[in-house]
Amino acid sequence: MKEVLLARSAGFCYGVRRAVELAEETAAETDGCWMLGDLIHNAHVVEDLARKGVRKTADPLSLGAGDTVVIRSHGERKSVLDDLEARGVRCVNATCPNVVRIQRLVAQAEAEGRRAAIIGDPGHPEVAGVASWCREPLVFDGPEAVRRWLDSAPENREIPLTVAAQTTCIRELFETSWKIIKKECTNAKIFDTICNATHKRQSEAVEIAARADVMVVVGDRKSANTKHLTEICKERCPRVLQIEGADELSPVFFDGCSVAGLTAGASTPAGIIKEVYATMSEEIKAAEGKEESFEELLNQSFKTLNTGEKVTGIVTAITPTEVQVDVGAKQAAYIKFSELSDDPNAKPEDIVKVGDEIETYIVRVNDVEGYAELSKKRLDAVKVWENIETAVEEKTVLEGTVTEENKGGIVVSVKGVRVFVPASQSGQPRGADLSAMVKQRVQLRVTEVNRARRRVVGSIRAVTDEARRAAQEEVWANIEVGKRYSGTVKSMTSYGVFVDIGGVDGMVHISELSWSRIKTPAEVCKVGDPMEVYVISFDAEKRKISLGVKDHNVNPWQVFMDKYAVGDVATVRIVKLMTFGAFAEVVPGVDGLIHISQIADRRIDKPEDVLSENQTVDVKITAIDEEKQKISLSIRALLAPAGEPEEDAEVLETEE
């Protein structure tokens, strides 16, 4: 055997290390404490904790007031926690922050009236604990189980689902499952809750197993993540051995092996890995004539931190002054609160939580004192500039808020970056008051970026013009006679109005605006008014559209005939004065004639001596010609003394 490949991420993950440290600290503080079941899935660690005063019990009822119990890293059922608290048992919660997050997601789903679905091993304590935070949880061990549930009842596809994964779930199994749910279900929220450390460990195992002749996986046989590592390795390596310690290794297993791979589950202590590695490395040591200690190997696995680079880590603690981050390096890394966010009022716990993965910028590295100073705020700023530059190349539409009117234009804040928009590109008419745009949300396209000068220029007009062109094409592609639109009055003339029906203007002639007689469009509408219109005719070649407002399905004459008869009194509006009399609107679209002889109870020279246009008067309907649709009206008939005969009351043939 010439080479042993050790996975860098082998061994304790953050959650397991935290649980063990909490148990040891609690035992030291209380002169002994309890754990419910195995704190982690590793017999060696559990035995070591017992020697340090962390006793084990499987029965929560055996604990009483004054006892202290450390909750295992996989979490516990909610009912057990509630019962312990009610009986006065002090609980030190060592549940992995990633597991706590899933518990919260499940509880939130319950509160929102959604059903929680967990992809993972139904018998695993983590899954059992998570499932207890809601009623009627669904637990699927893979895509086949998902498919069986969906096919069991058609209505299952309509159930609102919140989907999460066991932290140690195999990624391929989870992704296959959620893709089926996303495709089949109408209302599903998917949360990728696989632990980042688990994903890295599995990815490294895939890479090493593909190169190795023999693969060794170290970990407790009860450990789910160790079992999954073994399954993953078996898909890529012909010989895979899962062991709990070095004493299970046999020289026979490595016969004919040139390259051996070694990885370990999240609950495997460094000491056991070191021992296994040493046993596997005996032949390579002899061949190369040198020893490489496990500590040296671990040191090689540490990241090298350089000022100005990006680095990803896991939030391990939030103190009153800083956020501590594990970046996989020798140095302790932290973020000052002032470097966490641009928002001075933001609280650290609202931005990050323990267990979160966070990408940061390395501000300073002090190898002498062993720490690295990080900044999330600066990285966010760098990302924004990168996104702005990408937006220029890809002509992406961005959204921002107008913050001020500037000389020659306005300033728009896009994710904290000031974008200058010239007045000509503001989308407003020449000479418009741009201050009215302040505080408005706008869409724009970035046209110029100079990061060195921190100058960004954008155009709102480019977006609005493009949207208008698209809307115009949509209108012309689907326009037809009789089609109705909700439009807006754009401009007015003496002969009608122009209405915007979605990027295209159509003309409504004054005669189509109302059944009533009107002299100007201003009598019935104004610029900016909404208007329901329909297409009378259009010429796609000349890009002209004739619109109507009047409902031609309504017959004004029939409305009149249904409402009035000869002898009825009506209140009418004078619409036109002639030498021979006055025309009055009885109902919209139907006028009647008041002959000059019927205007007053005396002889008059002209109608305007008594009447004026738009005046409202009461009249008596004296004659109706249904065939010619003409009406005779009389004011005089209402003025004649009782019993006095009415003269010249019927005048139907007078034309306007």
DSSP for 200-259, please give it: HHHHHHHHHHHH-SEEEEES-TT-HHHHHHHHHHHTT-SEEEEESSGGG--GGGGTT-SE
**129 — pLDDT class (breaks 50, 70, 90):** very high
Overall average pLDDT of the 426-438 stretch: 86
Top-level class of domain 395-464: mainly beta
The CA distance from 142 to 347, in Å, is 39
List b or e across 453-476, with b for residues whose CB sees 16 or more CB atoms inside 10 angstroms: eeebbbbbbbbbeeebeeeeeebe
The CA distance from 426 to 435, in Å, is 11
Read off the pLDDT of residues 597-619 as tens digits, 9 standing for 90 and up: 999 988 899 999 999 988 999 99
Residue 623 CA, distance from chain mean position: 69
- Residue closest to 404 by CA, chosen among 395, 415, 416, 413: 413
Second-level CATH architecture of 479-548: Beta Barrel (2.40)
At 127 the pLDDT is 94
Indicate the length of the chain as a whole number. 656
Note if 25 is an active site residue. Answer: no
Amino acid at 625: D
Cβ neighbors of 451 (< 8 A, separation 6 or more) are: 385, 389
Question: Domain 97-194 carries which CATH code?
Answer: 3.40.1010.20
Overall average pLDDT of the 61-82 stretch: 91
Q: What mean pLDDT value characterizes the chain?
A: 85
Read off the pLDDT of residues 550-575 as tens digits, 9 standing for 90 and up: 766 677 888 898 889 999 999 999 98
Count CB atoms within 10 A of the CB of residue 170. Answer: 24
Q: Is residue 412 pLDDT above 70, yes or no?
A: yes
At 294 the pLDDT is 54
At 298 the pLDDT is 53
Read off the pLDDT of residues 454-469 as tens digits, 9 standing for 90 and up: 888 999 988 888 888 8
Q: Could you please state the CATH topology (level 3) that the domain comprising 556-639 is classified under.
A: OB fold (Dihydrolipoamide Acetyltransferase, E2P) (2.40.50)
CA dihedral over 479, 483, 488, 494, signed as positive or negative:
positive
* Consecutive H or E run containing 124: none
- Answer yes or no: same fold for 310-380 and 556-639: yes
Q: Is residue 27 pLDDT above 70, yes or no?
A: yes
Hey, what are 551's tokens? 């409902």
Overall average pLDDT of the 105-122 stretch: 93
Read off the pLDDT of residues 477-520 as tens digits, 9 standing for 90 and up: 888 888 888 889 989 998 899 998 887 889 999 888 877 777 88
**309 — pLDDT class (breaks 50, 70, 90):** confident
Q: Is residue 546 pLDDT above 70, yes or no?
A: yes
At 176 the pLDDT is 94
* CB-CB contact of 56 with 38 (8 Å): yes
Q: Is residue 144 pLDDT above 50, yes or no?
A: yes
The reported pTM is 0.45
Catalytic choice (76, 126, 204, 322): 126
Please compute, for residue 651, the number of CA atoms within 13 A of its CA located in the half-sphere on the CB side. 22
Place of tokens 């921002």: 400
Residues 310-380: name the CATH superfamily: Nucleic acid-binding proteins (2.40.50.140)
The CA distance from 47 to 270, in Å, is 16
In percent, the amount of the chain with pLDDT more than 70 equals 93
For the chain, give every domain's residue range.
97-194, 310-380, 395-464, 479-548, 556-639
**289 — pLDDT class (breaks 50, 70, 90):** very low
Amino acid at 89: V
At 287 the pLDDT is 43
